[in-house]
Chains A and B, each alone.
Chain A
Amino acid sequence: MDRFAGKSTPDAAAPRRARALLAAALLAAGAACAREAPPEAADPALEARMVRITSELRCLVCQNQTIADSNAGLAVDLRRETRELLKQGKSDAEVVDYMTARYGDFVLYRPPLRTTTVLLWFGPALLLVVGGTVLVLTLRRRSRMAADAFDPDDDGEVVDEVGAAAAGTAAANAAASGRG
């Protein structure tokens, strides 16, 4: 206090001290932030690789999240393990092998093609082909049928009858039974 007083008036010392305190507080806050996330700062390239690999892997705790997204304890640990493996110079495939050796193919969002996953991979395409074939065959058969194989388009008559009476279903039934 005395030293400050020697250099400047006491009135001017107060704001200067406040500024120094503020600067110290900001520095401390900055240091705290930096401590919370050191891996990102340490090696952004490695972090990006880790995120790319783990966003293809399913978190086993929150099963609809990726290991990259999840905040579950296990996901945090597996991100840490991935970082470690990458630091050891392991390839992406080796990291994925590390995961499947422990947790099975379940962790893979893109399951490998195996005999047990053939239906998973080709089932939808198969359904599409079967559905399309049935549709084409049905339409072809119908187009070959004579015009008198179908009921006549009863839109016109029904609309007229509905116009005449509110009980449209009764009228349609009557028309159907009349034809039979």
Chain B
Amino acid sequence: MNQKPATGSGGARLSRQEGGERSGTGAVPRAGAALRPRGAMRLWFLIPLVAFVALAVVLAVGLKRDPREVPSPLIDKPAPKFALARVDDASRVVRLEDLRGKAFILNVWASWCVACREEHPVLLEFAKKRAVPLYGLNYKDTRSDAGAWLARFGNPYDASFFDEDGRVGIDFGVYGVPETFVVDGNGVIRMKHIGPLTPDVLANKIEPLLKKLDA
């Protein structure tokens, strides 16, 4: 009883061929009618397979993608304007316009952010090369915590800007710290990386882009 579908379909195919043979001896129109489903059968049995492979590919691609990586609408758009005091000096306000003229990297970080600690050695290493200015956007932090964090783990930033209420972060579309933006000399955002920077991302994505921006 369990094997009925397998044997049943085979049986149906056989009997249909029989039908064709039988009609061949008799009425002419029935021969054509019986041939059509037989010719179609050859393709039709492939359709579930094709559908399955297509579905499997779509799902496999979907599984590999990181749903946390939301594409930013700000790529190739002017960076949002901001005016923020530095973390180390509340009296020194830095504006986006002050940073124009040369490509720079803006790294969003916070002392409460665990992944930032993971990415920190990579930034320290990158800062040694002095390729481009590296600025920090200190997101929803306190001045004392941020200062202590930099003193303890080292400061790779040319300057960090103090975004206490996270408003500049929102303007940059920040939703998970750390995030890193590459801004060109005209103040246009060229790239955004979500999550901790890795040596691989720096070497294969950011540095080639910086070279292109320099040229």
User: A173 contacts which of B3, B15, B33, B68 (Cβ < 8 Å)?
Assistant: B3
Count B-side interface residues using an 8 Å CB cutoff: 35
Closest 9 A-B residue pairs measured CB to CB?
A: A60-B175, A102-B173, A176-B7, A104-B73, A168-B1, A106-B70, A149-B19, A151-B11, A77-B166
Cα–Cα distance between A148 and B14 once the two chains are bound (Å)? 12
- CB-CB < 8 A to A1: which residues of B? none
Tell yes or no: B212 within 8 A of A by CB.
no
User: What are some 25 contacts across the A-B interface (CB < 8 A)?
Assistant: A60-B70, A60-B176, A63-B67, A73-B166, A78-B170, A102-B74, A102-B171, A102-B172, A102-B173, A103-B73, A103-B173, A141-B37, A145-B37, A146-B19, A148-B15, A149-B15, A151-B11, A169-B3, A172-B1, A172-B3, A172-B7, A176-B8, A179-B14, A180-B10, A180-B14
Tell yes or no: A101 within 8 A of B by CB.
yes
Q: Kindly identify, within residues 1 to 59 of chain B, every residue whose CB is under 8 Å from any CB belonging to chain A.
A: 1-4, 7-8, 10-12, 14-16, 19, 22, 30, 33-34, 37
A151-B8 CB under 8 A given contacts A60-B176, A180-B14:
yes
Tell yes or no: B186 within 8 A of A by CB.
no
Query: Are A73 and B140 neighbours in the complex by a CB distance under 8 Å?
Result: yes
Cα–Cα distance between A102 and B80 once the two chains are bound (Å)? 10
- CB-CB < 8 A to A173: which residues of B? 3, 7
Tell yes or no: B101 within 8 A of A by CB.
no
Would you give the shortest CB distance from A113 to chain B, in whole angstroms? Answer: 17
User: A179 contacts which of B11, B19, B140 (Cβ < 8 Å)?
Assistant: B11
- CB-CB < 8 A to B8: which residues of A? 151, 176
Cα–Cα distance between A179 and B12 once the two chains are bound (Å)? 11
Tell yes or no: B62 within 8 A of A by CB.
no
User: B70 contacts which of A77, A104, A150 (Cβ < 8 Å)?
Assistant: A104
- CB-CB < 8 A to A179: which residues of B? 11, 14-15
A169-B2 CB under 8 A given contacts A61-B176, A101-B73, A104-B73:
yes
- CB-CB < 8 A to A103: which residues of B? 70, 72-73, 173, 175
Instruction: Identify the A interface with B (CB < 8 A).
Output: 60-61, 63, 73-74, 77-78, 81, 100-106, 141, 144-146, 148-151, 158, 162, 168-169, 172-173, 176, 179-180
Query: Are B1 and A158 neighbours in the complex by a CB distance under 8 Å?
Result: yes
Candidate in B12, B15, B165, B167 with the most chain A CB atoms within 10 angstroms: B15
Q: A104-B70, A150-B15 provided; 5 other pairs, C-beta below 8 A?
A: A73-B140, A73-B166, A74-B170, A176-B11, A180-B11
